[in-house]
Amino acid sequence: MELLFVADALEIFKTYKDTTYAMMVEAAARGHRLLACEPRHLRWQRGGRVSATVREIALRPHAPGADGAHGTDGTHEAHEAHDVHRAEPWFRVVSVATRALADTGAVLMRKDPPFDSEYFYATHLLGQAEREGARVFNRPCALREHPEKLAILEFPQFIAPTLVTRDEAAVRAFHGEHRDIILKPLDGMGGMGIFRVRDDGLNLGSIVETLNRHGAQTVMVQKFVPAIAEGDKRVLLIGGRAVSHCLARIPQGSEVRGNLAAGGKGVARALTARDREIAEALAPVLAARGLLLVGLDVIGEYLTEINVTSPTGFAEIAAQTGLNVAAMFVDALEAALR
C-alpha cells in the first residue's frame, strides 16, 4: 500500500526522536511504499482532483533508528549532531511525480503546529480530497473541530479550574480566587508563551496585555497544578485505545514548563488509574470522530490539552520501555483501511 505523509520538510527531521519517522520505519518494514510531501505542495484546480508533487522515498538502512532503536538515552546531542551533519540524508528519493491524493492508500496529515491559516487551508484541501475518495488520518474536519487548547472544554469533569477570555478584569478576578495561575495563548506550542503568576500577582497586568494584546486576543487561564513537578504526561490514544505507557515531560531547574521543546526531561511511565479513567472516557468519543491518533496532556489529576495535529512520543516510549508504539499505530491504520 502507498502511504502519503503530509509533513514538514523531510530534511529537517530529527530521526532519533521523530514520531513520523518511527511510523515510516514500521510501515516500510511491512512492505508499504512511502510517499511524502509538504502542505505547500497540495493543489486543486477545477476539473481535477486534489493532488500534490510527491516524493516516493526509501529509508537508508543505517539511518538513526532505522533498526527500530530510537535513542533517548542521554545522547540526544550526539544524535542531533549526526542528523544535521551526516553526509547522506536518512532517505533516498526513488521518484518524484504529481499524484492525486485519492489514488494513494492513505494520507497521513503529520504537519507540526502551529495551527495557523495555512494549516487551516490545508485541512480544507484534504477535506476535498476526502470527498474525492482519499482516506485521510486524522480526518481534516476533526483537526479543525479540536483546537488543542480549547478541545478540553467539552470535558469539564476532567479539567482544572479554567477561564477562557479576552477580559483583563475577568483574569484578575480568576487570580483573586485561585491565587496561583497559569496563563497561555491559544495558538502556542511547545510551551511557548506560558506564564505563571503567583499569589503576589507580580506582573499580572503586563502579562495579560502581552497575551491578549489589549483585548484583541483570547487567552486561557488555569489554576496552577503543583503536580507539574512530577511531569506533564503525554497519554497516547491510538485507534480508540490508550497506550499502556505515557511520556512524562518533567520541568528542569526553575522552569515551570515540562515541554521537551522547553528543556523538559521525558520519562516513560505506566498510566495511573486517573490517566486510564480520562483516556478511556475520551478515546471512543475521539476515535468515532476520525481521530486515529491523539495525545492527551495530563498534569496530576487534570486533563490540560487534547493534541490532534501531530502527536509525538513514540520514540521515547519505545526506547525506555521496549513498547513498539509505531507498530500499534500501523496496526490501527491498517485496520481502519480494511
Q: Count of CB atoms within 10 A of residue 54's CB?
A: 23
Residue found under cell 486561557: 220
In angstroms, rounded to a whole number, what is the distance separating the alpha carbons of residues 266 and 217? Answer: 32
Residue among 55, 149, 223, 233 flagged as catalytic = 149
Residue among 257, 259, 275, 316 flagged as catalytic = 257
CA distances to 18, 121, 282, 294 from 297, in Å: 18, 26, 12, 10
In angstroms, rounded to a whole number, what is the distance separating the alpha carbons of residues 130 and 290? Answer: 12
Task: Name the residue type at position 78.
Answer: A
CA distances to 2, 197, 244, 256 from 266, in Å: 33, 25, 16, 15
Residue among 139, 212, 249, 275 flagged as catalytic = 249
Residue found under cell 528519493: 93
The yes-or-no answer on residue 212 being catalytic is no
The yes-or-no answer on residue 73 being catalytic is no
The yes-or-no answer on residue 257 being catalytic is yes
The yes-or-no answer on residue 324 being catalytic is no
The yes-or-no answer on residue 276 being catalytic is no
Grid coordinates representing 14 are 530529527
The yes-or-no answer on residue 88 being catalytic is no
Residue among 139, 184, 223, 233 flagged as catalytic = 184
Residue among 111, 223, 233, 234 flagged as catalytic = 234
| Omega within 30 of 0 (cis) for the link into 307 | no
Residue among 56, 130, 148, 297 flagged as catalytic = 297
The yes-or-no answer on residue 139 being catalytic is no
The yes-or-no answer on residue 172 being catalytic is no
**Contact yes or no for 303/279 (Cβ under 8 A):** no
| Omega within 30 of 0 (cis) for the link into 39 | no
Active site residue ranges: 149, 184, 234, 249, 257, 297, 305, 307
